[in-house]
Structure 1
């Protein structure tokens, strides 16, 4: 073989090797599962994805979000995929028992201790939050935010026109809603079933107070007690002030009734504020806020976080996503748009609007308790039993049967065994 032919052959072989090397293992990508598809939620996620893409131009981001408030649909799809051995690389999960009692207990997610050490996150994440994402000395998720559940949103003009003050107690709230109802105003906007569970947990807190509320989840408050009966009666009464089409409304639909002046109040987490701003509404003009009556000085919290799947198809891509999710840049891009505050303690407060700055102050000074609806205080099994009992109660309005079912749920899946 001549030298020229030999050089040509070697050149072809080298090019082939480079092509094979570039194609080896396929293009890098990361599939991230969440339920952020509407309102300020989707916009917040897109803001964080933009940071990811800027930092990782060679990794394709696959946004596998599934619509459905509070993750009701997304978690069902995720459970099916996990059972089939087809996990996404990373997914959204609530800090607390949803994470520990479901995904850690099911050996479905990997520890992230090395990531926390390399990124220095232990010094910037709240010390109250780390135990809720840890088990057996391992840390299992990256929190991206803190949300407040016990927020009473109201329309200032509707309240003013009807001579109603912002209520601070359950009795004041019911009196205000009586006045509004008599004037032909929908007092309390409500949506699909998970928003009713959200309302229930805030009424339990507002009636029982933080200590007795916490006792529901550690077994020290009896679900069958008279004080819980009173709290459930308050919830039952609150439902009588709501719109008749609630079952067909999303949380966004229900919240919009307030800012459009079609209802006076709505109980929803502070992601609603991100949605209000996306609609072009102005704080204290189109909407105001206060703690749910009876819960002044208490911050009922939840935290969205992201995990690393056991058997993640692209673990490197997942780790790149988690680094952005836990970074100051990622959280400062995400949270002001989403309508939440950073999980990190070093974010620039000036990036946040009036409501979120007040939430930062309350988070640092209030008594903190966890949310049921959003995964902090109960694992998926217990929450599912409560949800089933709630659905039957909404249909039959039988309070005694409802309370008995809640007692049974605590005995079956909670600490009352």
Structure 2
């Protein structure tokens, strides 16, 4: 259940399918608003690269299922939705909502719920028969005060390490097996640095927060990591200090142009052999596959190693805003993203796992099968960078503190204090 603790974790039973990565496009124009009386403006941040391919695949299914409804593409570019969320909030506050908008399932929704900006879609869950195909525990996690406010289209894993096999091998690193611990991974980064290779690619602030959360998961383990968000484990602990020290060490071994890049650029550095590793969600797999790279032969992929095997969880979902100008069009879109056909097409293109348990996974690739297994067997930790663990305002605070730290505007102690203060403010 979505609560003031802002926790979101779903059990292994939801494992269903997964693969590639994708985003915005399809029929209709770009930008906000527009469309006739029988239309739907779909607001997302799937505006480039593999994310656009996923949205395009979903729109094809939508056009087949609802040929009488015009799709209007409201995609706004910007990794993890940072730019899109700012624009969305401006529109919601101005009383100009899109017909439906993408949001990360989990604690991110609390801001919209508290502001009465999205509607209860429990009736649509019943109308579409979703209680029978989404595990009961997932439905419970989507519920706040007896209501359900979004319909998930997928499940992603955030804490994946992507590596260039040739770069690693040339540096003397055995790619036959993943490093056994976070310290082993750090030792590999040092080896790569000594070999004159950029050890780790990263991009703008949200990708740095994604790296931070992966280190937190690996170093703390699931119970302590999850405790950071319900107040049962302290951001001011010595264990978090160790995490921040390791985060700082990793950031020192990243590309110098990082702040001017977004995630596709950082991933491309690994694909091109200009960096050895990148820590990114599994939407990145599409970039490797589009470049005709083969898992094992050309690249490696494994969760950032730590105390236990962890699946860093996030899910994209769609809402029905209050005052949506075309509510029937929005309902048609929600029906498509919840359908077996929509979830199959979308997730095959985007690198994620369908939320439905009745989607045939036979078409999904080798990496996707590892994600399915991980989600079924490993501990679940909700993503910070992708709105599953924190509200939008809390994430914004973490992002600001992280940016100040990685640009040298604050020291490690000040960074940890800022994170501690944010937790206290948001857990009150």
Q: TM-score, normalised by structure 2?
A: 0.89
Paired residue secondary structure (1:411): helix
2:171 to 145, 162, 166: 162
**Map 1:322-401 → 2, pairs under 5 A:** 322-396=334-408, 398-401=411-414
Residue 94 (structure 1) aligned with residue 104 (structure 2): yes
Q: Distance in 2 between matches of 1:263 and 1:26?
A: 47
Q: Distance in 2 between matches of 1:398 and 1:294?
A: 25
**Map 1:102-141 → 2, pairs under 5 A:** 102-141=111-150
Q: Once the 2 structures are TM-superposed, how far is the Cα of residue 26 of structure 1 from its aligned partner?
A: 5.5
Q: Once the 2 structures are TM-superposed, how far is the Cα of residue 37 of structure 1 from its aligned partner?
A: 1.1
Residue 258 (structure 1) aligned with residue 270 (structure 2): yes
Q: Once the 2 structures are TM-superposed, how far is the Cα of residue 287 of structure 1 from its aligned partner?
A: 1.5
Listed one character per residue, the Cα deviations across residues 260-294 of structure 1 (whole Å, up to 9, x for unaligned) are 11111100000000222223322222221011021
Task: Point out the structure with max Rg over C-alpha.
Answer: 1
**Map 1:204-283 → 2, pairs under 5 A:** 204-283=216-295
**Partner residue, 2:61:** 51
Q: Distance in 1 between matches of 2:249 and 2:212?
A: 11
Q: Once the 2 structures are TM-superposed, how far is the Cα of residue 411 of structure 1 from its aligned partner?
A: 1.3
CA contact (8 A) 1:306 1:322 kept: yes
CA contact (8 A) 1:336 1:352 kept: yes
Residue 152 (structure 1) aligned with residue 161 (structure 2): yes
Paired residue secondary structure (2:236): coil
Residue 63 (structure 1) aligned with residue 73 (structure 2): yes
Listed one character per residue, the Cα deviations across residues 311-351 of structure 1 (whole Å, up to 9, x for unaligned) are 11011100000000000000001101111110111111112
Q: TM-score, normalised by structure 1?
A: 0.91
2:306 to 278, 294, 309: 294
Q: Once the 2 structures are TM-superposed, how far is the Cα of residue 296 of structure 1 from its aligned partner?
A: 4.7
Q: Distance in 2 between matches of 1:204 and 1:280?
A: 32
Listed one character per residue, the Cα deviations across residues 203-255 of structure 1 (whole Å, up to 9, x for unaligned) are 11111111110110110111111111111111111111111111111100100
Q: Distance in 2 between matches of 1:92 and 1:296?
A: 31
Q: Once the 2 structures are TM-superposed, how far is the Cα of residue 297 of structure 1 from its aligned partner?
A: 1.8
CA contact (8 A) 1:189 1:258 kept: yes
Q: Which has the higher contact order (CA 8 A, sep 6+)?
A: 2
CA contact (8 A) 1:34 1:65 kept: yes
RMSD of aligned alpha carbons: 1.3
Q: Distance in 1 between matches of 2:152 and 2:391?
A: 18
Q: Distance in 1 between matches of 2:139 and 2:180?
A: 32
Q: Distance in 1 between matches of 2:341 and 2:217?
A: 35
Q: Once the 2 structures are TM-superposed, how far is the Cα of residue 376 of structure 1 from its aligned partner?
A: 0.7
2:419 to 393, 400, 406: 406
Judged with a 3 Å threshold, the aligned counterparts in structure 2 of structure 1 residues 296 and 37 are, in CA distance, closer, same or farther, namely: farther
Q: Distance in 1 between matches of 2:295 and 2:239?
A: 36
CA contact (8 A) 2:164 2:271 kept: yes
Q: Distance in 2 between matches of 1:240 and 1:127?
A: 44
Q: Once the 2 structures are TM-superposed, how far is the Cα of residue 173 of structure 1 from its aligned partner?
A: 1.0
Listed one character per residue, the Cα deviations across residues 138-180 of structure 1 (whole Å, up to 9, x for unaligned) are 1111100000001011111111122213322121111111111
Instruction: Give 1 or 2: higher helix fraction.
Output: 1
**Partner residue, 2:202:** 190
Q: Which of 87-96 and 220-229 deviates more?
A: 220-229
**Partner residue, 1:175:** 187
Q: Distance in 1 between matches of 2:307 and 2:77?
A: 31
Q: Distance in 2 between matches of 1:180 and 1:128?
A: 43
Aligned residues: 390
